[in-house]
Structure 1
Amino acid sequence: MNYTRMVIEKEAPEEYGYDRIRYNLSESSIADQKLSEIGLSLPDLTLFYGEHRGDKQLRALISAQDAGISPDDVLVTAGAAGALFIISTSLLSANDHLVVIRPNYATNIETPRAIGCAISFVDLAFEEGFAIDVERVKAALRPDTKLISVTCPHNPTGTMMSRTELDALVALAESSNCRLLVDETYRDLSYDRRLPTAASLSPRAISVSSLSKAFGIPGIRIGWLITRDAELQEKFLAAKEQIGICGSVIDEGIARGMLERRDVFLATLLPEMAKRRDIVQAWIDRDPLV
């Protein structure tokens, strides 16, 4: 692995210093939450090694959000970044190729690059509304392609694939004998519709998400990956065990409490987010150069 620090992390607010920032206009999640603000308190936890796959109740809460997903399909990780690292290092080698629909989260590019994997980019265009052209993705595939990587809702534009486009990417992964990785970290901030988690549609699809962005608690390093491929899940579990054995029982306890309140929390959050979206849209309508 040839590691290089990512620019996005070098310039992160926590590296620059929160005390030096008055207005953070580039924050990628909702406002950071306090335990007291979200009505959570820690139970008297025993600080033992947790379940290697992640707390059983937490995995049940995650899997219950989509039909066709079971707790055994879920692996709890150290944030979405931990999930993406496990996926790249488990599936890719210097002899493999992946297709990245770009812009994309930096980890989905830099970890494969550190592995020495060949990468082809399918760039989204502002003039096309950042829409995905599945035919261009198909044209980028090679016989040694192991993975197609995309984010939805898209990071950083917030645009959404249609169900037809998602189904087409799943079908492409199936017909090409590769995997489809969908980074769904912003899925709970969808306004009008929420696509099914990609992993529920096919064993060739892998979904990744976390509590960092939509729930504003990146300080607990809780994310997850979902795959219905049991053999692949065992490989991912082996990677997690060799990296850190298990997660923090404290973090998983807080995560469980948050997801038990998920619907109430999002019900209060989304109207405010929609109001801010409408304000921004009004600015854009008034001045397209905004």
Structure 2
Amino acid sequence: MNYTRMVIEKEAPEEYGYDRIRFNLSESSIADQKLSDIGLSLPDLTLFYGEHRGDKQLRALISAQDAGISPDDVLVTAGAAGALFIISTSLLSANDHLVVIRPNYATNIETPRAIGCAISFVDLAFEEGFAIDVERVKAAIRPDTKLISVTCPHNPTGTMMSRAELDALVALAESSDCHLLVDETYRDLSYGRRLPTAASLSPKAISGSSLSKAFGLSEAAV
């Protein structure tokens, strides 16, 4: 793959230098801390490879959040970006096509682009409240479409799909014999009644989430 560094990587505070930033209004995690700063201590730990898909008890806790998901449906990764990379490289090839509802997280665009597959964008508009037009998504589907990619809660506007819109996208993926990826990284920051995880609704739906945004725990994701 011909992978190009994303703008978000070049502009990260770690790259730019924290000492050069006077007011950081965009950091998605918390400042560096020690466990002792928050009153925690850990006993002596045994460091080992662990289970490839993640600890069984952890996967059971994650799957228990929604009916319709089993521990075997859960993959624990070191960072949401790693999970999204796995999804793209597992489902897409240079001969495939995906539909990206944009704006979207950069990894969901740049990794498929590096793979060499064709991409169709369905752009959301401010004037329409960044609402998803499922019919426009349907019109972008091709016979070689393998994946539909969307974020919810939406990154970066924070808008939410309705349950009807989510169900319509799931039904579209099923009828088109492709997968639906819902990047749910901001799920735990949503207000009011939460949508079910997309993965609980269909074998064709994939949910990606993370602890970095809602909990400030960077590099921990499923």
TM-score normalised to structure 2 length: 0.93
Q: Quick one: distance in 2 between partners of 1:188 and 1:146?
A: 28
Label 1:95 to 1:289 Cα distance change in 2 as closer, same or farther (>3 A). closer
**Distance in 2 between the 1:289 and 1:29 partners?**
13
Deviation at 1:22, TM superposition (A): 2.3
How far off its partner does 1:29 sit? 4.2
Q: Structure 1 pair 133/187, CA: closer, same or farther in 2 (3 Å)?
A: same
Q: CA deviation at 1:20?
A: 2.2
Instruction: Verify the 8 A CA contact 2:211 2:221 in the aligned structure 1.
Output: no
Deviations 1:218-274, CA, capped at 9 Å, x for gaps: xxxxxxxxxxxxxxxxxxxxxxxxxxxxxxxxxxxxxxxxxxxxxxxxxxxxxxxxx
Asked if the contact 1:99/1:140 (under 8 Å) is kept, the reply is: yes
Once residues 158 and 104 of structure 1 are traced to their aligned partners in structure 2, the CA distance between those partners, rounded to angstroms, is: 12
TM-score, length basis structure 1? 0.71
Partner Cα separation in structure 1 for residue 39 and residue 175 of structure 2: 47
Match of 1:280 in 2: none
Identity of aligned residues (%): 95
**Which region of structure 1 is more displaced relative to structure 2, 39-48 or 154-163?**
39-48
Aligned-pair distance for 1:36?
3.6
Is the Cα–Cα contact under 8 Å of residues 30 and 214 in structure 1 kept in the other structure?
no
By how many angstroms is 1:120 displaced? 0.1
Counterpart Cα distance in 1 of 2:78 and 2:203:
23
1:17 is displaced (CA, Å) by: 1.4
Q: Which runs of 5+ in 1 are unaligned?
A: 216-286
Conserved? CA contact 1:189–1:214, under 8 Å: yes
Q: CA RMSD in A?
A: 5.0
Q: Say which is worse superposed, 93-102 or 12-21, in terms of deviation.
A: 12-21
CA distance in 1: counterparts of 2:221 and 2:4, whole angstroms: 35
CA separation in 1, counterparts of 2:133 and 2:9?
30
**How far apart are 1:135 and its partner, in Å?**
0.2
Task: Give the drift of 1:32.
Answer: 5.9
Q: Which has the higher contact order (CA 8 A, sep 6+)?
A: 1
Return 5+ residue gaps in structure 2 as ranges. none
How many angstroms apart in 2 are the aligned matches of 1:125 and 1:34? 42
Shift in CA distance, 289/214, structure 1 to aligned 2, threshold 3 Å: closer
In the alignment, the residues of structure 1 paired with residue 117 and residue 220 of structure 2 have an alpha-carbon distance, to the nearest angstrom, of: 39
**TM superposition outliers: structure 1 runs of 4+ over 4 Å:** 29-34, 287-290
Instruction: Please report how far the alpha carbon of residue 69 of structure 1 lies from its aligned counterpart in structure 2 after TM superposition.
Output: 1.4
Task: Say whether the 8 Å CA contact 2:97–2:142 is kept in structure 1.
Answer: yes
